Every structure is written in C-alpha cells, then in structure tokens.
C-alpha cells in the first residue's frame, strides 16, 4: 500500500481563516489576507471550532495518490460522495501483471494463504484466457465487417477488456487519485479511523491523517475516530478499546507533527 500527498491548497489554514474572517468582519476581498498572522489565523480556526462552524474549512483541499489497494477498498472509499476520484480503468488497462491484496487474517494462516494464492493465480489465468478468446472473436467479426486487421484488433482489445474484467476478484489491486476538502476529510477520519472500519481503509485513513496534520495542525487537531473526543457512537457494537485508541492517535499525531 502506498499513500502520497501529491497536492494541496497553498497555506490551507490561512485560506480557511480568510474565509472565516469574511464571515465575521466587514473585511473586503482586496484586503482579506492582510493582517492574518499565525496568531490571528489560529484564533479564527479556534473560533470556528468553538462555534461548530464548519463550512469555511471546505475551502482547503488535499489530493492523494493511493496505490496497492483492493477493489474492496475502492467500493468503500467511493461511498464518501463529497470527494473526487480518478481510478485506473479496467476497461482501458489490461491486467497482464495481475496483482492482488492479501487480507492480514488470511496472510497469518499458512493453509488459508496458500488457498488464497492458488485462487488468485487461477483467476489471473482465467482472466487472460477470456481476454484472448474475446479479442480473437471480436477481431474476426470486425474484419468480416471490413475493418483492417490492425484497427479491428485495437477495437477488439478494448471490448475484450470491458467484458473479461467481470471475472476479476475484489482482491485485485487498483490505484487512484483522490481529492477531499478538510470538512470531508474530518468526516472520513471520524468513520474510517474507527476500529470497526475495515482494516485496509483504516490503514489508508491513518496514513492520510499523518500526511495532512503537519500542514493543518489546528484543523485536524481532533481528527480521528469520534471516541477521541467523546463517547463511542457505536453503542453495543463498540470495540471497547477507547483508551487504547486514544493512546494510538495521540502517538500518531505527535509523530506526524514531529516528523512533518
């Protein structure tokens, strides 16, 4: 798994403070950034937090490159609808180099891991066999319709990829570029840093938090699962490890700020 921050709003906290300043003063656009010292920026961010006024933090966004995650992860992360996603297409990219993600609970049981790898190898073989069968059949049909072989093969290749991908497993690796504003990220961290989130998306969320925290420490000061700042909202499904979770994120944030 690889998570990288590839772009972000320049000086995100100052941008947010400028939006907040406009809300709470008679400032003009031409002078909006004037006088926004680090101290005043922090004061505006604290005011937003105290009032629960979240819309100004939507003006800062972060863009991540994510690689080595499964299609299962993709199905979960795209449920966060206030985000932008660009995902490697299985229609246009043929998976000659078939890669997959092994869940930790399978990885740690030798017999299960061996069964899983055999299944993945079988899937890869069946996928490529189906791709070639479809491509040859589509090429022949298109040539019979008058297309030159090279053009027919190129068109048939895409059609083959489009249908053969239906046999690919959820474990199949994918990669994406994802952009979220700070408000969406706070919601993402609330839900996906939780112990009840699936292990893969939780690992991605933790790494994203490590990356954004040094750039917007006041905005993300309380970011993480909801139990960091109050009672667990999961009721009877609570993991029962609130103290452990709080210690984990205290350490994560301390290291992120130190290394950032």
Catalytic member of 71, 165, 183, 192: 192
The helix/strand/coil state of 49 is helix
Q: How far apart are CA 224 and CA 120, in angstroms?
A: 34
Contact of 62 with 5, CB cutoff 8 Å:
yes
Query: What φ, ψ does residue 62 adopt, rounded to 5°?
Result: -135, 140
Query: Helix 199-212 and helix 242-259: axis angle, to 10°?
Result: 40
Q: How far apart are CA 89 and CA 161, in angstroms?
A: 10
Q: Residue 88: exposed, middle, or buried by beta-carbon count in 10 A (0-12, 13-18, 19+)?
A: middle
Q: How far apart are CA 213 and CA 189, in angstroms?
A: 12
Specify whether 153 is catalytic. no
The residues annotated with a catalytic role in the active site are 192
């Amino acid at each position: 798994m690889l998570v990288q921050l590839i772009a972000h709003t320049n000086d995100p906290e100052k941008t947010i403070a400028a939006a907040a300043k406009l809300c709470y003063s008679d400032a003009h656009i031409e002078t909006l950034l004037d006088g926004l010292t680090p101290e005043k920026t922090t004061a505006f961010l604290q005011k937003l937090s105290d009032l629960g006024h979240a819309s100004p933090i939507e003006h800062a966004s972060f863009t991540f490159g994510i690689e080595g995650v499964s299609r299962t992860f993709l199905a979960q992360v795209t449920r966060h609808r206030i985000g932008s996603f660009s995902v490697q297409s299985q229609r246009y990219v043929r998976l000659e180099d078939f890669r997959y993600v092994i869940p930790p609970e399978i990885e740690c049981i030798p017999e299960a891991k061996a069964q899983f790898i055999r299944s993945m190898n079988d899937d890869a073989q069946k996928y490529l066999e189906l791709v070639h069968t479809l491509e040859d059949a589509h090429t022949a049909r298109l040539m019979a319709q008058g297309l030159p072989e090279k053009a027919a093969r190129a068109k048939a290749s895409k059609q083959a990829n489009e249908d053969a991908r239906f046999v690919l497993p959820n474990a199949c690796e994918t990669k994406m570029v994802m952009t979220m504003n700070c408000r969406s990220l706070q919601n993402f961290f609330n839900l996906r840093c939780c112990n009840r989130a699936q292990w893969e998306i939780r690992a991605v969320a933790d790494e994203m938090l490590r990356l954004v925290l040094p750039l917007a420490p006041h905005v993300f000061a309380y970011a993480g699962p909801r139990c960091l700042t109050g009672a667990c909202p999961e009721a009877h499904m609570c993991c029962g490890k609130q103290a452990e979770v709080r210690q984990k994120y205290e350490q994560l944030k301390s290291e992120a700020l130190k290394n950032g």
